[in-house]
Amino acid sequence: MAAEKRAAIYRAAIVGTWLLGCCSNPSIAQNVEHNNTLELIQNKENRFILSFGLNLPQVLHGALAPNEKYPEFLQRLSEMQDSAFALEIERFKKTLNAKPVLITQTGQTIHIHRWELPNLSRIRDILRISVLLLKMPPGPLTHLDPIPIIAYTTKLKQKSARLQVQMHRSLHPIFITFKSDKFWLTNQIPYTILDVGTQ
């Protein structure tokens, strides 16, 4: 019990520090909601690196329980036992991994196969802060900045001059950049064709 009490005090201190930081640093929280973003980077190993900036609580909601009310989902997930919480985050990754993010001209599907997410403690803190922010009146402190997340795709078997780009619905809307190309993917525009060349 003593350990649980210390952990609760520690988490409360994190939230308090974050809120104080927001008050003194307007760049931490904005009065407009942040969109999900993605920068696509093709490396020399014929793989893609996906550099996301995500509204992580909303993406988790869309992937894990889209039919559950958002506040109830946040509360439930943030209060889960550690083992159950870890399983839910694994389920989140598997859900997004299952949908190909790229499709080549020959029909090869390219999936995400590895994620660099914040650790479980940080994800839980993000969810708890989101629960608190939902209880606050609308204003400059009621939004979190996007959470930076990196993911890596499976390897292209052969280079393709054009790729179909698509994302799981939970990431929509998402603003994507690849070199000089910039475009949106939404529920109404769920994919686009990207000219990547063969170099």
Total number of residues shown for the chain: 199
Q: Number of folded domains in the chain?
A: 1
pLDDT band at 95 (very low <50, low <70, confident <90, very high): very high
The pLDDT of residue 140 is 61
The pLDDT of residue 109 is 96
Considering the chain, what is the average pLDDT of its residues? 85
Q: Which domain does 169 fall in, by range? A: 2-195
pLDDT band at 198 (very low <50, low <70, confident <90, very high): low
The pLDDT of residue 188 is 97
The pLDDT of residue 139 is 65
pLDDT tens digits, one per residue of 128-165: 999 998 888 776 656 688 999 999 999 998 888 899 99
Q: What are phi and psi of 160, to 5 degrees?
A: -130, 135
pLDDT tens digits, one per residue of 167-191: 999 999 999 999 999 999 999 999 9
- pLDDT of 17 over the 70 cut: no
Q: Tell me the two tokens of residue 123.
A: 């994800």
Alpha helices in the chain (DSSP H): 2-24, 56-64, 70-78, 82-98, 120-134
- The secondary structure of 10-52 as a DSSP string is HHHHHHHHHHHHHHH-TTTS-SSPPPEEEEEEE-TTS-EEEEE
pLDDT tens digits, one per residue of 48-88: 999 999 999 999 999 999 999 999 999 999 999 999 999 99
The pLDDT of residue 27 is 35
- pLDDT of 15 over the 50 cut: no
Q: Where do we find the tokens 């520690």?
A: 10
* Whether the Cβ atoms of residue 165 and residue 192 lie closer than 8 Å to each other: yes
CA 116 to chain centre: 11
The pLDDT of residue 35 is 87
> CB-side exposure of 139: number of CA atoms within 13 Å?
9
Q: Where do we find the tokens 């104080």?
A: 20
Q: Which of 150, 66, 63 is nearest to 113 (CA)?
A: 150
